[in-house]
Every structure is written in C-alpha cells, then in structure tokens.
Amino acid sequence: MSASSGTAPSGTRAAGLRIVGGSAVRTLVLAALLSAATDLSGLGLLATATWLISRAAQRPPIVALTVAIVAVRALAIGKGTLRYLERLAGHDAALRVLARLRTRVYAKLSRDAGRLPRGDLLARLVSDVDSVQDLLLRCAIPAAVAGVVTVVTVGFTAAFSGPAALLLAAGLLTAGLALPALAFRLADRAAARIAEVRGRYLAASVDVLAGAADLAVFGATGSALAGAAGQATALARLERRAGAVGAATGAVGALIPGATAIGVFAVTVRGGPSVMVAVLSLLALAAVEAVLPLTGAAVRYAELRGAWRRIRPLLAADSPAPPDPAPAPLPAPLAGDGADRDGAARDGAARGGADRGGADEGGADRGGADRDGADVGSRRVADAPVPAIAARRIEVRYPGVAVPALSGIDLDLSPGRRVAVVGPSGAGKSTLLGVLVGQLRPTAGRLLVDGVTLTSPRSGVADSPTEPDGLGWPRSGGVLADGYVFHASVRENLTLGRTGFDDPALGRALTDAGLPDWAGRLDDLIGEDGATLSGGQRQRLLLARALLDPPPVLVLDEPTEGLDPAAADAVLADVLRVTAGHTVVMVTHRLVDLRAFDEIVVLVDGRIAQRGGHDALLARPGWYSTWTGIREVPDSAIGSGVGR
C-alpha cells in the first residue's frame, strides 16, 4: 500500500517524524508489539484448544492433556491482559502525538489565519488533525501486526505441511495485500473530493453562524442556508459512495478465510485423519481473519491521505542560517539621508537619557522588581534578554503582485531602541512588522537576530509562551492587525489563560492602554472577534494584553486608533514608560507625537523615503513635515503603495 501519491519533501517527512518522535515512537512500537502478541495469543489459544478437544476425543491419559489445559488458561488470561495494555499504550502514544501536532498546526495556522476561510481553518485544526489518530491506530499498527501474524502462522504451518503453508500464504496475501490494494484504489478516488467538500461545508456553516446578523439584515439568510445545505448533501452523497466501497470489499473479504480454511483442510486430510488437520484448518481460518482489518485500514488510509496532505506542509520546520562572523554593516546612506541619520543619533542620545530615566522612575512606582522579570503579582515583565535585530535590504513580494510590497529596507533595532514607522496607507508598514516578528518570509535580503541570519518565517512553536521558538526568533508580540479577541470576558481576553495577574495589574494594563473605565468591568463579556467593540477599543484591548506582560520586542500596529491626538499622545507616553528597556516598533499613519522615538522611518510605496529623528525630519521638506501639519495625509497626495 503506497504511503503517498507523491514524494514528500524531506523537510515535511523529517517534520512528521519529529512530531511522532521521541517517547511517542517507543510507545507506538510497544503498542504494535502488544497488539501482535495479543493476536498471537488468540491464535495460540484457538490452536491449543482445538488440539486439546481433538486429542481428548482419543481418550489419552489425563497427564498427557495437563500442559494443554494450563496453556489454554494462560493464553486466555494473557489475551485479555495484552489487549488492555495494547489499547492503553496505543492511545497514549496517539493522544500525545495529537497534542504535539495540534499545537504545531495551530501555531502555523495562526500565522496564516487571515489567508484561509475560518471553515478551512476549523477543518485543518480539528478533523484533519484528529485523522492522524486513526492513521496511527487503524493503519500503522494493523499493518505491523499483519506482518508478524503472517510470518508466524505460515512458519508454524510449514513445520507440519508444506502445501498447507502455501495455501495459507496465498490466503494471507490475498486478504492482506490484494484486497486492501483494490479497496485503496477505489476509495482513493473519492477521498480527496470528500476532504475538499468537507472544507467547503465547514466554511459555509461558519459563514452562516458568524454572519447571521448581516445575512438577516440583507435578507440573504435563506440563500446562505441553502448553500450550506447543498454542501452537506454533496458531502453525504460522497460519504455514502465511500461506504459502499467499504461494504463491498468487506463482503469479499468475508469469503477469503473460509476458502483458505477449506483448502488447508483438503490438503492436510489426504494424509489421513489426525489432530493436526483440525488444528491447521482452524488456525488458517483465524490467521486470515486477523489480517482482514487491513482492508478497512486501506480504505481509512485513502480517506486520511487527503487530510494528511493538507497538514503535512504545516509541519516543515524552518531552520536559521549559520551565524555570521559579525553582523553585517548597513549599506552607505543614500544621498540626503546622512543628516537624518545623524540627527536621529543626536536626538536619540539627547532624549534617551531623559526618556529612559523618566520611564524608569515612573516604572518604579509601578513595581521596580518587575523590570527584572520578577513576578510580583501585579505586573510581570519577562526576563528574556532583549535581542539585537537588523534588517538588510529586505524585499517582500506578494503572490500575483508585480510591484514589491517592500524593497531595499535597512533597519537596526538595538536592544531598547524605539522606532516609529510612518507613511500613507498601503505603504508596507504592516508588512514590515510581519517580517520583523517572523510572520512573513522576505523575498530577498536578510534578517539578523543577535548576528544570526534568519530568512525563514518562525515555526510558531515555542517551548513556552515566554521563550524563543528555538530557531533564533525572539519572543515578540503586541498589537497586530490579525490580533484576535475571544468571545470571553475582559479578564480572560487579557490573561489568555496565564496565571499570576491580580485585578490591580489588569486594571493598570487597561489604564495604560487608554481604557481606565474597563478596570471595574473585568467580568464583562466581549462578543466573538470583538463584535461588541469599536475598532479603537479593540486595538486598545490588544494593547492592554501586550502591556500586561510586555515581550522583549513590542510591535504596535496603529495602537491609538480611534483616539483624538491628545488622548493618543497620553496612551503612547504610558506605553513607552511601561516598556522601558524593551525594543518598541510602532507603525502608524495617524497624527501622534513621535518625539520620544529614537528613529522615525517614513515608508512610501514600500521604500524608505526618509529616516531620522523628529527634529531632523521636521526641519526638512518631505512627507514627515507635511504629515505633522495636517490630521492625515491622503494617499493620493503622496502616492499609493501595494503593501498590506
């Protein structure tokens, strides 16, 4: 039975082995051995009992039957015990593999959640991952057991009758190879279609549930329900066809054990009646029945292969490039940018001491121990080191778009540095954030973290929520465009299951994020995906979540959306004060006070148009000086980009 329709990339194969690897592999091997021992105990029990009954009919001395009597008892007890242990070991291994696999798939899908329909996300995370359990328990283990049973029973039969052994081998090969291959071929035709239709059905169902209010307003509920019902009907029809294949192959399979047993009896009885005629005939019947589950395993494998193909690419772990001898220097500044860079350095140095000092003093009032990573019950700041991040000539192109979203981006984020990225909508600001936090793969260029070049997106799987993912990516987070708000209370949306935060800590995080009135409403329920919140409230709730336990690298995508300039400045000042010592990268196209930032980068059409400190940029004609004089620069006035 083919393992796959094509050759999988070595990365996905290796990733799949890592998912099943470790102690789970040992437990799976143990489960397979126990399952084989269980089946062999059953065959031994049948053969011994048959011999005992046949021999007893010859009225031998009771002493001659003593060993057989004890063996029957031992094998009967052993079969039940071994079956229990096999189920325990097999399901323990399968559930551990499922836990690891679901964690990895969730982390991978969370990075691409915006690109896939919710129904497809649900199918991959739930039904596709659950299918791996059947892949292990109903496909892999039965195949291993069938091999052991075939070798042992054919070898035992050959010791008494060569022709009977050949007939038994033919029956076993027919039931264990030919029939499963036929069943697989028939079922495989419908399996991919079933997986595709199931994904569409789940997507349509989620759309109906999530968009019920909008559908009712536009009078489209009936058509949406009809679409979902149509997908359900198509899915049921395909599943009935697959069931018919299983029933047909099962009916054919039921004939093979009897035919094999009759053939073995006909061959062995020629030598005259004997005890072994009955033993070998019934052993052949039971042995073929023991490999018949391979037919069902083949059908199930055909059904699972589509699901495995959907999740297999998610398992490929990207590895960082080897460390460079030394971080590469930035290219020479472009003409006209030197003054801005120098101004940024001077302004950053002048402001840095005052701003950092003020931040530290303010932070002391809020619990100085927090700044060392201590958990004081009121505010917790991770003690992970703040990394040095550098971007070198980064370019990002989206599929199907000729113009790059980012081109020639150079950026230095030394530990504790604050950088603001501004520009018109569509200039590529959010794309740049995606690259910096490891969500997007640069088309060209390099990203260096503490001197290690990383050009692949993060795996998304970390050993713990507060540690890097093992591939060199630092822990980062904050307010991103795809941040999710759950259908839960304010408290639960802030903590996300984390412990050690009391109500005052939650209240301070909300206050720092510009939601002081929410400090007394921690148990209020929020609608799914923030349906009951305005856009600005949603952003500030995500900001409060990040400020509760600030990561070493804090990224902010329009954190002050929906606030007037004065309120936005106040919230931003609180954020910078609370995150003293952390690297902060903020993107915005709204009018906010950026004087506290070490560097301001102006993106236009995916390229850096200006960079420098606030005072230096304000003194030069350009986008930034114009932007600070009006509420918001229309895209048409500056140029529209293709960034996202």
CATH number for the domain harbouring residue 98: 1.20.1560.10
**pTM value?**
0.53
User: How are beta strands 583-588 and 553-557 bridged, if at all?
Assistant: parallel
Which own/partner pairs from 210-219 qualify as long-range (CB within 8 Å, at least 24 positions apart)?
210/118, 210/528
Position 341 in a domain = no
Looking at the structure, tell me whether residues 206 and 295 fall in a common domain.
yes
Q: For residue 433, how many C-alpha atoms fall within 13 Å in the half-sphere facing its CB?
A: 27
The position carrying tokens 């002493």 is: 63
- Rounded to whole angstroms, how far apart are CA atoms 300 and 134? 8
- Rounded to whole angstroms, how far apart are CA atoms 33 and 182? 27
Supply the pLDDT for residue 468: 37
Q: Cβ neighbours of residue 285 under 8 Å, at least 6 residues apart? A: 257, 258, 260, 261
Looking at the structure, tell me whether residues 308 and 398 fall in a common domain.
no
Looking at the structure, tell me whether residues 183 and 273 fall in a common domain.
yes
Position 22 in a domain = yes
Q: How many residues does the chain have?
A: 644
Position 326 in a domain = no
The domain boundary, picked from 268, 291, 315, lies at 315
Give the count of beta carbons closer than 10 Å to the beta carbon of residue 322. Answer: 8
Contact 355, 596 (CB under 8 A): yes
Position 372 in a domain = no
Q: For residue 509, how many C-alpha atoms fall within 13 Å in the half-sphere facing its CB?
A: 29
User: How are beta strands 583-588 and 444-449 bridged, if at all?
Assistant: unpaired
Looking at the structure, tell me whether residues 261 and 395 fall in a common domain.
no
- Rounded to whole angstroms, how far apart are CA atoms 234 and 361? 65
Give the count of beta carbons closer than 10 Å to the beta carbon of residue 22. Answer: 13
- DSSP 8-state secondary structure symbol assigned to residue 297: H
Looking at the structure, tell me whether residues 311 and 395 fall in a common domain.
no
Could you write out the three-class secondary structure of 345-385? HHHHHHHHHHHHHHHHHHHHHCCHHHHHCCECCCCECCCCC
- Rounded to whole angstroms, how far apart are CA atoms 156 and 149? 11
The domain boundary, picked from 294, 315, 336, lies at 315
The domain boundary, picked from 292, 315, 338, lies at 315
Domain count, the chain: 2
Mean pLDDT per 10-residue interval, the chain, length 644 residues: 40 48 76 93 94 90 90 93 92 83 73 56 71 79 92 94 94 93 83 80 84 85 91 90 80 90 92 85 93 87 76 56 38 38 39 38 37 40 64 86 88 90 86 81 83 55 34 54 79 85 91 89 82 80 87 84 80 88 85 85 91 88 78 40 40
- Rounded to whole angstroms, how far apart are CA atoms 416 and 42? 68
Supply the pLDDT for residue 249: 82
Position 500 in a domain = yes
Looking at the structure, tell me whether residues 544 and 626 fall in a common domain.
yes
CATH of the domain at 401: 3.40.50.300
Q: For residue 615, how many C-alpha atoms fall within 13 Å in the half-sphere facing its CB?
A: 12
Range of the domain at 122: 11-315
Position 479 in a domain = yes
- DSSP 8-state secondary structure symbol assigned to residue 8: P
H or E segment at 66? helix 66-111
Contact 460, 111 (CB under 8 A): yes
Q: Cβ neighbours of residue 46 under 8 Å, at least 6 residues apart? A: 282, 283, 286
Contact 36, 144 (CB under 8 A): yes
Nearest to 390 by CA among 469, 451, 331: 451
Looking at the structure, tell me whether residues 269 and 139 fall in a common domain.
yes
Looking at the structure, tell me whether residues 95 and 222 fall in a common domain.
yes
Looking at the structure, tell me whether residues 183 and 305 fall in a common domain.
yes
Cα 61–64–66 angle (5° rounding)? 115
Position 325 in a domain = no
Supply the pLDDT for residue 230: 92
Q: For residue 122, how many C-alpha atoms fall within 13 Å in the half-sphere facing its CB?
A: 13
Supply the pLDDT for residue 274: 82
Q: Return the sign of the alpha-carbon dihedral for residues 60, 66, 67, 68.
A: positive
Sheet containing 389-396, strands listed edge to edge, beginning at the edge strand earlier in sequence: 406-413, 389-396, 444-449, 452-454
Position 495 in a domain = yes
The position carrying tokens 């899908």 is: 109
- Rounded to whole angstroms, how far apart are CA atoms 550 and 383? 10
CA distances in angstroms from 281 to 50, 257, 447, listed in the order given? 10, 10, 70
Supply the pLDDT for residue 140: 85
Angle of helix 162-173 relative to helix 275-291, nearest 10 degrees, comes to 20
Coil, helix or strand for 331?
Answer: coil
Give the count of beta carbons closer than 10 Å to the beta carbon of residue 477. Answer: 18
Looking at the structure, tell me whether residues 391 and 243 fall in a common domain.
no
Looking at the structure, tell me whether residues 100 and 215 fall in a common domain.
yes
Looking at the structure, tell me whether residues 134 and 265 fall in a common domain.
yes
